[in-house]
């Protein structure tokens, strides 16, 4: 079986972690007997600074033919963040209807959580983040710039289709896990969108009598991710709340450098995209110490998605083994002194 994957390293440490992951692709495709062709697209902020666009006008058409996309990071000190996000990452998520964003938060054995008293295995939940609408809808505008009365409006858009889709995906996931869904809103303050969300959760939950449902306001959830993270199983949240909560999820499980994600097009009509949760980390660009494991775990999710679950499991197990080994090399975000290259070299001996 041959798979074609588009790779978009992007900005900052993006190319460092994507290049580091490349040999892992070669190893698993050799070991599990499938062909994997990675085609690299140097789209991102450097391109924007040279030509005024993050990707070509026909970029989405170019990507549409691939089986999946692997993305590194976006964000550049010389380009406003809303430009990088709205001209590369979000058009791909929205254009390919990658409505379901899965972000596991797992405290691996051997990894220290900043939360006292938590050891490997104590935290294991997954956030299902709505990924194409909500607060990230491109609806709004600015008027009267430069005047005292200048105004900015940014609307959030919640459709029944979009909300039901992410909520259903979360309930489905819960049936395969511990059977608990926590729905995050701010429905005490946002009486339209979030009350609508609550109503859809109630409708969908009726179809899943064996799944227990907890409703939390996002402020309480932020505290509870720190106070009682072990109690979460599947968390479902809107685009913005999901983004914020998954950063908390990453940090309580040891490092942003360990947090993978999948942006899934559930119909299979378009390619899905896999990316580390972390950004471009301009402070460590070029130092060769970026943690490659979030990207490599994202690649494991990509293999699963392509139906190569043995390969996905092998990569996931190799990362788990490496993290559990006190003598294994670690990058500085995990308290070590190893380089990106050294971590990958060691990981390859475990695949």
Catalytic residues: 136, 186, 219, 243, 247
Give the list of residues 6+ apart from residue 300 with CB closer than 8 angstroms, or none: 260, 311, 312, 313, 315, 316, 319
DSSP state of 76: B
Selected from 276, 292, 312, 329, the binder of ligand GGG by CB under 6 A is 276
Beta strands in 206-292 (DSSP E): 212-217, 234-237, 260-264, 272-276
Which CB atom, from 88 or from 289, has the smaller least distance to ligand GGG?
88
Q: Could you give the residue ranges of the DSSP H alpha helices within 260-330?
A: 293-305, 309-324
Shortest Cβ 262–ligand GGG spacing (Å): 12
Selected from 6, 18, 28, 74, the binder of ligand GGG by CB under 6 A is 74
Residue 207 CA to residue 171 CA, distance in Å, equals 9
Selected from 29, 238, 280, 339, the binder of ligand GGG by CB under 6 A is 280
Shortest Cβ 70–ligand GGG spacing (Å): 10
By C-alpha distance, which of 92, 98, 222 is closest to 166? 98
Name the segment binding ligand GGG (CB under 6 A); options: 70-78, 162-170, 221-229, 283-291.
70-78
Q: Is 275 in the site for ligand GGG (CB under 6 A)?
A: yes
Residue 84 CA to residue 64 CA, distance in Å, equals 20
Within the chain, how many helices (H) and strands (E) appear? 12, 12
Please count the residues of this chain forming the interface with ligand GGG, following the rule CB under 6 A.
Answer: 10
**Between 76 and 105, how does the x/- string for binding to ligand GGG read (CB under 6 A)?**
---------x--------------------
Which CB atom, from 79 or from 213, has the smaller least distance to ligand GGG?
79
Q: Is 110 in the site for ligand GGG (CB under 6 A)?
A: no
User: How far is CA 30 from each of CA 174, 235, 303, 351, rounded to the nearest angstrom?
Assistant: 34, 36, 13, 11
Q: Is 16 in the site for ligand GGG (CB under 6 A)?
A: no
Q: Is 243 in the site for ligand GGG (CB under 6 A)?
A: yes
Which CB atom, from 111 or from 273, has the smaller least distance to ligand GGG?
273
DSSP state of 79: B
Chain positions contacting ligand GGG, by CB under 6 A: 73-75, 85, 243, 275-276, 278-280
């Amino acid at each position: 079986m041959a798979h074609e994957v588009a790779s978009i390293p992007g900005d900052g440490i993006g190319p460092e972690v994507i290049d580091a992951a490349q040999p892992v692709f070669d190893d698993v495709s050799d070991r599990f007997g499938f062909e994997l062709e990675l085609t690299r697209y140097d789209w991102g902020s450097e391109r924007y600074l040279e030509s005024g666009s993050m990707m070509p006008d026909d970029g989405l058409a170019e990507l549409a033919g691939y089986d999946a996309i692997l993305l590194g990071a976006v964000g550049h000190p010389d380009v406003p963040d809303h430009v990088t996000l709205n001209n590369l990452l979000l058009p791909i998520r929205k254009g390919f209807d990658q409505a379901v964003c899965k972000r596991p938060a797992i405290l691996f054995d051997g990894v220290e959580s900043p939360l006292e008293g938590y050891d490997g295995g104590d935290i294991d939940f997954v956030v299902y983040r709505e990924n194409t609408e909500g607060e990230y809808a491109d609806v709004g505008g600015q008027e009267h710039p430069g005047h005292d009365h200048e105004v900015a409006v940014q609307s959030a858009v919640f459709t029944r289709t979009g909300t039901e889709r992410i909520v259903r995906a979360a309930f489905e996931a819960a049936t395969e896990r511990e059977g608990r869904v926590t729905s995050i809103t701010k429905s005490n303050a946002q009486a339209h969108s979030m009350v609508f969300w609550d109503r859809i959760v109630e409708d969908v939950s009726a179809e899943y009598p064996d799944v227990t449902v907890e409703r939390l306001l996002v402020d309480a959830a932020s505290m509870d991710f720190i106070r009682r993270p072990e109690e979460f199983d599947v968390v479902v949240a809107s685009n913005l709340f999901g983004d914020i909560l998954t950063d908390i999820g990453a940090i309580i499980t040891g490092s942003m450098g360990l947090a993978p994600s999948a942006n899934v097009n559930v119909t299979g009509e378009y390619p899905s995209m896999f990316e580390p949760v972390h950004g471009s980390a301009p402070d460590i660009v070029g130092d060769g110490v970026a943690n490659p494991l979030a990207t490599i775990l994202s690649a494991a999710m990509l293999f699963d998605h392509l139906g190569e679950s043995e390969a996905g499991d092998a990569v996931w197990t190799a990362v788990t083994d490496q993290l559990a080994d006190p003598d294994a090399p670690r990058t500085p975000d995990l308290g070590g002194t190893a380089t990106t290259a050294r971590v990958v070299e060691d990981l390859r001996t475990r695949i």
